[in-house]
Chains A and B, each alone.
Chain A
Amino acid sequence: MSRTSLPSDLAGTVATTSPDGRWFGAGRSVATDAFTAGAEATAAAVAGRPEPGLILVFARDHVDMQPLLDGVRSRAGRNTKIAGCSTIEPMAASADPAGFSVSVVAFGGDEFGYEIEVARDVEGNERAAGGLAAAGLARLSHAHKVLVLLIDATLTDNVEIVRGAYGTAGAAVPLVGGLSSDDWQFNRTCQFAGDSSGVEIYKDAVVGVAIGSPQPIGLGVAHGWRRSGDPMVVTDSDGLKVYEFDNEPALDVFLARVGLDESVLTGSDSFRLAALEYPLGVATRSGEEIRVIQGVDLADRSVWCSAGIPQGGLAWLMEGDLDSLVAGSTESCQQAVRTLGGATPIGLLTFDCAVRRRELGPAGVRREFAEIERIFPGVPFGGFYSYGEIARYRGATGMHHLTMVSLALG
């Protein structure tokens, strides 16, 4: 393939190598031509090292994906496995985040192992799909393993997908990943999987990337939102639907608490977007889980949430500001360092929430990246802003929202 020649500027190159020969690189591209962008970001991630074994691609939803992936393949090795997904915005080290359309991370070295599985036609078969996506783990015999899940955001029962993956992976394997995103359209998300000879573009799919390593893997999860105001008791709920807070219609309580009026309910997506800025925190044994209100039922003034809130449960409105959200990123990275157990990190995968990205703004993102680089100095990182984050290190559940997940590879 020689559709275009690479520019000589490889300023995006960041890559590190471990003593056992494993290496990790991250690259990005600002090119407007999709093929060029794919090739440029891949070349930057590989940075002239021996053939990469795995390449993960995170590309803005508006990019023409097929030529982009052709560009990636043009700079990958002959036997490189490739996976990835669409995103509202990719993440990659040391650049103005708004400027680039694709980020690529590359893994290389004989000691790493990788297996990719794709579950298709997932709707209605979520659990089995999760199990299938994790099936590659069984073919890896490394001391440490992790499963990266890339799930289509249009699949609503993502909790069941993660549950299915956990059932196959078991407690010894951390789960990470995210729901593929787009520019708040909720209809242009896609996932990729394949290898140097061809990459398929999927919709409604779950891509599972099993990675095996001789060295420990660290995982951090934090969100940076804090409780605001008095708690609300969920006095009536059923599944994802909450009918009442404190014995009053849930929608009315929510609107009054956040100071929105009825007009926000008229636009097609205006409420959904507004509600993203006012997440709910649900009290759990070890803190709180974040829920996002995803819609309303005007007939009974109920709201429906990203995950169930049991009747009788306590919920808080959560608030965040630039400082607290950046602090969430810091905490996530520090947890990843702690769980790495003293091993030296060679690379970092990041999955951060698109809503956090919106709230952070360009200045906040620069601060977030600066924090990542402060805690992981000289360590390349790449990932994407998602519509839902996956992280399971302790416990048996792994679906999160409005959260920053960081995976450090030792």
Chain B
Amino acid sequence: MRSADDPSLVTHHWSTLQLTEFCAVLTGSADEDEVLRLAVERASEALEAEIAAVVIEGEVRAHWGLAGDAAETETLRTIGSARSVRLAGLGEVHTFAARLGRGTGDFLVVGRLDLALAGPERQTVQAMAQLLSLVLRNLRALTAERSLREEQQVLLRDKEREAAERLALLEEVRNRQRLLEQLLTIQQAVAARHPLAQVLDAVTAGAAELLNHRPVLLVLADSSTARSLTVVSGDLAAVADHEAALKVAGRSIATGSHVSDDAVLTTPAGRTRLTAAPVSVGHEIAGSLVAVLDDAGADRFAEQQDLLVAFAQQASLALTDARTVEAVTQAQHDPVTGLPNRTLFLQRLREALAERRDDIVLFIDLDRFKSVNDSLGHRAGDALLAAVSRRIAQRLRAEDMAARIGGDEFAVLLRDITLDDAVRVAESLVESLRQPFRIAARDALIGASVGVSARNSADDTADDLLSNADVAMYTAKKRGASQVVVFEPQMLAETVERLDLVADLQRALQQGDLRLHYQPLVDLRSLRPVGVEALMRWTCPRRGVVPPDEFIGIAEESDLIVDMGLWALREGVRQLARWRRDFPGLGLNLNIAPRQLLDRDFVSHVADTLLIEGVPAAALTLELTETAMIRDPEMAGHQMTRLKDLGLRVAIDDFGTGYSSLSYLRRFPVDELKIDRSFINAMNRSAEDLALVRTVIDLAEALRLQTVAEGIEDADQLATLRTLGCRIGQGYHLSRPLVPTAAAEYLHAAQDTPREAPTSPRPQPARR
């Protein structure tokens, strides 16, 4: 192994880091001239070179370090493949020019005094040139789309044709943006030294996504046995003719250039051709990225080839960064646990299916791993994963195989076994993982949920089997901790429905189908509104009105809730700013999901939003559930303190239904308790509930917190709460949640007339 002090490693790593920054800087600009200027500047700085220039269509479009000297600029324009040039005032400069995409005469050239560019440095320049060309094409597509849109406003003729053209262009813009995002993600992964296998999977998956979801394989030549090729990443099963794919890969490795198969295959999805681009480790060609490309027109085909070359370069960078042959062979193993990774697991599973063995797959997901990882640190988390893998291995026979296939996910391949025996193995694994782990001088208690899946039909592929086990695991997880569940086909339907809902919700967020309704918070003595609570509503074009209970929970399971919450924050505060012109004292209550509170950027988003809309922080109350505080008390407390520092108010929502621990009321900076509707609903019928409501109100008074009664549905409840001294309330008896225009009318009406009686009650819908 090389040490961190190894200068060549540091040098190359430095270049990779610079490349990441280069990509981030370039994609941050929307102006072509600025992109070119940034490209020459950052390229020369990254390489500690003095000179850089971009030549497009024979013209020097940007240069750096030449002080505008016309003769020197002319020299660079015609530099071609020369390894050095003589420049006035500087003398002999070592140069390296990299083309901006294949088949063009455009190039990025970097010039350095004293020392010629070394191999990895030239590779960095190549990657920079490739990135620059992609950024430029993206900008041009954007510009074309914009000018077409402008033309369209003038000329309304040929509407349909132009609309189609615009759509195609828009699609291209989106694709290019996706491409740049993919490349940036990969580079960041390389720079942050993510496991090699993960980076390579990102390369093949990213390329596949952009190549019309055609399969992409990364093939490496085994240096120990000549001519032996191994697929280290990508879905081999999706490639119809393995041999043809490996043959094209072999040709591209042998020639060191990109190669397309002459044979055009006609498939149900259209005409396709195999194409391969070489992948290198340092100076040596080490493998090839192979893809099945659409053979739809020369332009489109050439563009797809360019794209493949760009991803091949990313793979080269990742492999060169990993550097040693050992690291390359470890591409199929997880470095933390030493277990095989997903790629190798699927390969073995495919072999098992090919032999028609009765193998069974277990999908193991650790319970509470994240909280241990978060509280004890990543290093302890890694130690825990290694310990888990050892315990799993101890319970398996020699012929079985365990793999780590994701963050806290493991898979087991049980060879030639009955379903009953497999379930027994799964249960023994669950039992063993429930025992405490001694990590970082502390006992960590986790657990595991296991999904079990056997082959249901002869058509089942390795991916099907693993994904079925995953679906069963999800069901196990929903049933509670430490469960074992065997896959049944109807689970698939439930999963599909859930994924479908997530997809629709994602679309709703993008297309603006989400709305906020506002339920007034009313001073129970004067019956005048003091604020409003924003509540999310969704009308799906396909499903109609979806009740919040059905979509909030699912959004909270995914990261979608963070984006939805951000949208609600911006929309709610924007609306509040408008209303506060007429109602200066009005406040807004906003529900915050645990995941959102724990998001590192959350506090700055809140601060920015308030600043942009010019709303004082004290006008915003964030409602948190007790779950957020229990899940990660340290982070939650930290975030709440930061919010308090901004001047915001914090409320505990649904108080009484969760842990309702006095200790966290002392520990967290809380301003307001919202008494859950279930207690308000029952307090006039049940002495216990009445006592509880009274206790909460007294407790709040003692701690100088404000209480808000939720779900007031009739006049009796209102009267009781007034008697108990509760100051603020909300509920259908006072007002239902209103659309913004109706809410504005309500606020005006409340301002104009003294309110004697609340609005008429309406039926109670579900709310979150």
Contacts and interface: CB of A to CB of B under 8 A. Distances in A.
A248 B379 CA distance: 10
Given A286-B48, A310-B18, A163 B41 contact: yes
Interface string A275-315: 00000000111100000000000011000000000111110
A247 B381 CA distance: 12
- Chain A interface main SS type: loop
B11 A394 contact: no
A395 B49 contact: yes
A170 B70 CA distance: 13
B762 interface: no
B459 interface: no
A169 B41 contact: no
A284 B121 CA distance: 13
Given A286-B48, A311-B191, A314-B10, A170 B65 contact: yes
Nearest to A137: B67
Contact of B13 (A137, A312, A394, A397): A312
Interface residues of A, number: 30
A167 B64 contact: yes
Interface string B1-40: 0001100001101111110110000000000000000000
A353 to B, nearest CB: 22
A247 B191 contact: no
Contacts of B13: 283, 312-314
A407 interface: no
Contacts of B47: 285
Given A310-B17, A312-B17, A312-B191, A396 B66 contact: no
Contact of B14 (A170, A247, A285, A311): A285
B193 interface: yes
Interface string B188-206: 1001110000000000000
A285 B10 CA distance: 7
Contacts of A394: 48, 50, 113-114
B75 to A, nearest CB: 13
A137 B193 CA distance: 44
Nearest to B11: A285
Contacts of B489: none
A166 interface: yes
Contacts of A299: 638, 642, 645
Interface in A247-275: 247-248
Contacts of A247: 377-379
B21 A170 contact: no
Contacts of A172: 67, 87-90
B48 A285 contact: yes
Given A163-B41, A247-B377, A397-B45, A171 B193 contact: no
B69 A170 contact: yes
Number of contact residues on B: which range applies?
35 or more
A233 B379 CA distance: 14
Nearest to A138: B67
Contacts of B14: 283-285, 313
A397 B21 CA distance: 15
Contacts of B41: 163, 167, 396
Interface in B110-128: 113-114, 121
Interface in B262-314: none
B67 A173 contact: yes
Contacts, number: 97
Interface string A135-153: 0010000000000000000
A364 interface: no
A215 B670 CA distance: 73
Nearest to B113: A394
Nearest to B20: A310
A127 B20 CA distance: 23
Given A173-B67, A248-B377, A396 B50 contact: yes
B65 A171 contact: yes
Nearest to B12: A285
A324 interface: no
A38 B75 CA distance: 49
Interface string A389-410: 0000011110000000000000
Nearest to A283: B10
B473 to A, nearest CB: 28
Nearest to A248: B377
Between A167, A171, A300, the greatest number of chain B beta carbons within 10 A of the residue's beta carbon is seen for: A171
Interface string A233-249: 10100000000000110
A94 interface: no
Contacts of B218: none
A172 B86 CA distance: 12
B66 A171 contact: yes
B622 to A, nearest CB: 17
Nearest to A396: B44
A170 B66 contact: yes
B51 interface: yes
A231 interface: yes
A286 B45 CA distance: 12
A10 to B, nearest CB: 40
A16 interface: no
B84 to A, nearest CB: 14
B290 to A, nearest CB: 29
A66 interface: no
A310 B193 CA distance: 13
Contacts of A283: 10, 13-14
Nearest to A168: B67
B646 to A, nearest CB: 11
Interface string B84-96: 0001111000000
Given A170-B67, A231-B4, A285-B15, A310 B10 contact: no
A394 B45 CA distance: 10
A300 B48 CA distance: 33
B36 to A, nearest CB: 13
Interface in B172-196: 188, 191-193
Nearest to B189: A312
A314 B16 CA distance: 13
A345 B191 CA distance: 45
A396 B47 CA distance: 9
A263 B617 CA distance: 31
B65 A396 contact: yes
Contacts of B192: 235, 311-312
Contacts of B66: 170-171
A172 B193 CA distance: 38
Nearest to B121: A285
Interface string B54-94: 00000000001111110000000000000000011110000
Contacts of A233: 193
Interface string B636-668: 001000100100000000000000000000000
Nearest to B645: A299
Contacts of B377: 247-248
Nearest to B188: A311
Between B5, B20, B51, B642, the greatest number of chain A beta carbons within 10 A of the residue's beta carbon is seen for: B5
A396 B50 CA distance: 5
Contact of B193 (A173, A312, A396): A312
Between B17, B88, B89, B192, the greatest number of chain A beta carbons within 10 A of the residue's beta carbon is seen for: B17
A171 B66 CA distance: 6
Interface of B: 4-5, 10-11, 13-18, 20-21, 41, 44-45, 47-52, 64-69, 87-90, 113-114, 121, 188, 191-193, 377-379, 600, 638, 642, 645
| A-B interface, 4 closest residue pairs, ranked by CB to CB distance from nearest | A170-B67, A172-B89, A171-B50, A171-B65
25 contacts: A137-B67, A166-B64, A167-B41, A167-B64, A171-B66, A171-B89, A171-B90, A172-B88, A233-B193, A247-B379, A285-B14, A299-B638, A300-B600, A310-B17, A310-B18, A310-B20, A310-B191, A312-B20, A312-B191, A312-B193, A313-B17, A314-B4, A394-B50, A396-B41, A396-B65
Given A171-B89, A300-B600, 11 more contacts: A171-B65, A171-B66, A172-B87, A285-B10, A311-B17, A312-B17, A314-B4, A314-B10, A394-B50, A395-B48, A396-B44
